[in-house]
Amino acid sequence: MGRSETAWQTPPKLPKEDFISNLVYADPEIFALEMERVKKATWKFACHESEVPEPFDFRRVNHAGMPLVVVRGDDGAIRCFINACSHRAALVVREPSGNGRQFTCLFHHWTYNTRGDCIGIPREEAYKPVGLGKESLGLREVRCETRLGLVFVNLNDRAPGLDEYLNGALENLVPVMGDPEQPLEVFSYHKTVVPTNWKNWHETNMDPYHEFLHYINRRVAMRGDGYHERSWKIYPGGHATLSPMRQKYEHIKGWRPRDNKPMPGIMADEFRTVKIFPDTNIIARSTVMRIDTSTPISPGETLVELRGLGIKGESAEDRAMRVKHHNQFWGPFGRNLYEDAHAAECVSEVNIGGGGSYSILARHEGQKTQDDVLLRTYYQEWSRLMGRPAQNPKAEGAA
Partner 1 sequence: MSTTLPWMQAWDLVAKSCVYLDREAYPDYLGLLDDDYQYSITCYSPDLRKDMIHLKVNKEELADLVGNIHNHIRLSGSLFRQVSLYSLEQREASYDAMSYVSVTHTNLDGVSKVFCVGRYFDRIAVRNGEVRLKSREFRMETRDIGAGCHYPI
Footprint of partner 1 on this chain (CB under 8 A)? Answer: 51, 59, 95-98, 186-194, 213, 215, 252-254, 320, 323-324, 327, 331-335, 337-339, 341-343, 345
Task: Please say which residue, 166 or 321, places its beta carbon nearer to partner 1.
Answer: 321
**In the complex, least distance from residue 162 CB atom to partner 1, rounded to whole angstroms:** 24
Q: Where are the alpha helices (DSSP H) in 10-151?
A: 23-26, 28-34
Q: How far is the CB of 49 from partner 1 (least distance, A)?
A: 13
Which of helix, strand or coil describes residue 194?
strand
Shortest distance, CB of residue 392 to partner 1, whole angstroms? 32
* Helix 198-206, helix 337-352: angle, nearest 10: 130
**49 to 55, 72, 145, 165, 322: CA distances (angstroms):** 12, 9, 10, 20, 19
Contacts of 57 (CB under 8 A, 6+ apart): 51, 71, 72, 97, 98, 99
H or E, element range at 154: strand 150-154
Per this entry, what is the length of the chain? 399
List the one residue out of 340, 11, 381 whose CA is nearest residue 202.
Answer: 340
Q: Which is nearer to partner 1, 251 or 384 (CB)?
A: 251
Q: Which is nearer to partner 1, 87 or 251 (CB)?
A: 251
Nearest residue (CB) to partner 1, 18 versus 51: 51
Least CB distance to partner 1 at residue 313 (A): 14
Tell me the CB-side half-sphere exposure of residue 72, using CA atoms within 13 A.
17
Pairing of strands 102-104, 111-113: antiparallel
In the complex, what is the shortest distance from the CB of residue 34 to partner 1, in angstroms, rounded to a whole number?
24
Min dist. Cβ of residue 26 to partner 1 (A): 20
* CA atoms within 13 A of residue 1's CA, in its CB half-sphere: 4
Nearer to partner 1, 81 or 187 (CB): 187
Round the CA-based radius of gyration of the chain to a whole number and report it: 23
CB atoms within 10 A of CB 354: 11
Nearer to partner 1, 309 or 373 (CB): 309
Report the nearest approach of partner 1 to the CB of residue 55 (Å).
15
Residues paired with residue 329 on neighbouring β-strands, in sequence order: none
**Comparison of 127 and 212: residue with beta carbon closer to partner 1:** 212
